[in-house]
Structure 1
Amino acid sequence: MKLLASLILAAASLAASLAHAEGYPSRPIRLVVPFPAGGATDIFARALSQKVGDRLGQPIVVDNKPGAGGAIGSDQAAKAQPDGYTLLLATTSTHSIGPLLAARLPYDAVRDFTPIAHVGDAPSIMLVPNSSPAKTVKEWVDHARKNPGKLNYASSGNGTVVHLTAEYFKAQAGLFLVHIPYKGTALAIPDLVSGKVDVLFDSLPSGLPHVKEGRLRALGITSLKRSPLLPDLPPVSDTIPGFESVTWFGVYGPKGLPADIAAKVNAAFNFALQDAEVKDRLARLGIEPVGGTPQQFAAMLEKDRAKWRKIVTDRRITAD
């Protein structure tokens, strides 16, 4: 009798879950962006939201919840009801690097979320002053090796993706460079232009205008392949095999989100990423659409965190 009762209960639970998924969504969906409006993550969210909403039959409402390096918005999404009506657009900062550096976060980047879709990657570009003697990544590495401790690099602050990318570059190339942290890469640009700073790994959308205007020279891109925005710019990995540093964007739900709802949302985002208009908008942002399954997204995150964990540990990096 106990076995029969358990089977009946399990069947009823499954039926309720399926019925819930079939009726999902029946109202607007909130997409939490844990960064300010107007930033790259916000623009990316808005580029996808209409097409995703059209596919699901309900509007996607972008809700900016900035603060604490993305931790405030991420925590709100983690604590939401796992019903598919609150999603999070997370990044490398909130779910790969941040958890490695923060003394204590209000959420666990793995246990408190349900991975849904890896939606995009944004590379950085290696920028040097026009006065630099190097015209290629190899020439810059050779120059740095001949002048250990005499060259420096700028970052947007301790523990940021910009900082860790440069430290990763140092480690892979075997260089001794001095770190000069700024409160954002925009503040570092004047010193880079004047030659007070020797190199900066800036995001493609942020650094590209300075290259186009001839104020700075780009030596390489940190993705494994070239970007349509700078087709003549070779990957840094052509000189340092395997070197890759991209800011990823991914969609999460709270822990306990039913698999069938996650699959439905995943399908909608994959559909949107194939839209020609969305692809064009992302290309202009310097973001490559990715897509794939929730399992592939989870595997990518595990690999990405392992890479940055090694850099943080080996280079003894701490946050501000």
Structure 2
Amino acid sequence: MLAPLAHADTYPAKPVRLVVGSPPGALGDVLARVSAQHMGSGLGQPIVVDNKPGASLAIAADTVAKAPADGYTLLIAPDSATVVNPFLYPKLPYDPVKDFRSVGLIGKASLVLVVANGLKIDTVEELVQAAKARPGTINFGSGGSGHPTHLAMEMFANRMNVKLTHVPYKGTSPAIQALVTGEIGAMIVGVAEAMPLITAGRIKPIAASGPQAKEKFSALPEMRSFHKDLDLSVWFGIFAPKATPQPVIDRLNAQLNHALGLPEVRARLDDYGMLPQPGTPAALDAIQEVDRSRYGPLVKALGLTID
């Protein structure tokens, strides 16, 4: 059954649902609520945030993939939902390429490589040297198998030719606490999550990556200075069901870009280590293609699968 055709001159005629695969308070939820507030004002209809966490974002993504393509159900998601999950899950209930079309990129969040104080390591060079001297003895934590924090560190280990041991946790919060206690030795994590502990001297940053790397950590080297593939970040975008009419996509994209240009929105995103990056839907398509070419081979080489 075809979805009702919606046009820019009549859309939206009722509230819009923005589905997010994060629980309340998480970065995805914060971005969803900021986007909903300011996009809704421009559209003249409220955008209601619908939290559907679980299954590594698959529940939220599948909800939108199967929704009518009329512009009234949208998805806000990080790179893992449309780039990494297809390589991790053999039975993924949605196809990112066939089921979605891009509305626009919200922004990219910078990352920081941090180590436990007890590791007595002050630089990336020292970390690499220690890992090569004792392969597999340095543990690193992540928010779970296949989580962006997992793949970022696997990319680091692969490109630096070292062997580290992965310890997955149920989310980044317990993982970073394990770093504080010395249960793990290293981690790549979002700037916003790491900064309070760095400021308090409870963990040590040794390198940063992403669009705000130098702004947030002017004294640290950027990860990409060690290898071009280590220009790492986590991005979030907004997506619609594949058959959503072009006029509706254009209207949504224009309102998203307008919201991202507002000083209060830019300031809020900066608090989370994220640089707003307004642009076209095609720009988000291009970012996904680049990341699939990077992370697909890595996931396959690591033999990572999740049932």
For the structure 1 residues 67 and 195, does the alpha-carbon distance in structure 2 shift closer, same or farther, using more than 3 Å as the test?
closer
Moved more, 222-231 or 268-277: 222-231
Measured against aligned partners, the alpha-carbon deviations of 1:214-257 in whole angstroms (never above 9, x if no partner) come to 10001112326525443433321122333122221111111111
Contact kept? 2:169, 2:175, Cα under 8 Å:
yes
Measured against aligned partners, the alpha-carbon deviations of 1:119-155 in whole angstroms (never above 9, x if no partner) come to 1111321111123332222232233223323322122
Corresponding residue number in structure 2 for 1:156: 143
Structure 1 residue 170 and structure 2 residue 157: aligned?
yes
State how far apart, in whole Å, the 1-side matches of 2:63 and 2:53 are.
11
Contact kept? 2:214, 2:222, Cα under 8 Å:
no
Corresponding residue number in structure 1 for 2:106: 119
Structure 1: 5+ residue stretches without partners: 1-15
TM-score, normalised via structure 1 length: 0.89
Q: Per-residue deviation at 1:156?
A: 2.2
% identical aligned pairs: 38
Structure 1 residue 201 and structure 2 residue 188: aligned?
yes
State how far apart, in whole Å, the 2-side matches of 1:170 and 1:301 are.
22
State how far apart, in whole Å, the 2-side matches of 1:83 and 1:109 are.
18
State how far apart, in whole Å, the 2-side matches of 1:120 and 1:41 are.
11
- How well do the aligned residues superpose, as a CA RMSD in angstroms? 1.9
Structure 1 residue 53 and structure 2 residue 40: aligned?
yes
TM-score, normalised via structure 2 length: 0.92
Structure 2: 5+ residue stretches without partners: none
Structure 1 residue 33 and structure 2 residue 20: aligned?
yes
Alignment of 1:1-320 (within 5 A): 20-223=7-210, 226=213, 228-319=215-306
Q: Per-residue deviation at 1:70?
A: 1.3
Tell me the secondary structure at the aligned position of residue 151 of structure 2: helix
State how far apart, in whole Å, the 2-side matches of 1:88 and 1:238 are.
34
State how far apart, in whole Å, the 2-side matches of 1:45 and 1:23 are.
24
Counterpart residue type for residue 272 of structure 2: L
Tell me the secondary structure at the aligned position of residue 21 of structure 1: coil
Contact kept? 2:142, 2:187, Cα under 8 Å:
yes
Please identify the structure whose Cα radius of gyration is greater: 1
Name the count of aligned residue pairs: 304
State how far apart, in whole Å, the 2-side matches of 1:34 and 1:150 are.
34
State how far apart, in whole Å, the 2-side matches of 1:63 and 1:226 are.
32
The structure 1 segments of at least 4 consecutive aligned residues displaced by more than 4 Å after TM superposition are: none
For the structure 1 residues 257 and 135, does the alpha-carbon distance in structure 2 shift closer, same or farther, using more than 3 Å as the test?
same
Contact kept? 1:224, 1:235, Cα under 8 Å:
no
State how far apart, in whole Å, the 2-side matches of 1:225 and 1:236 are.
12
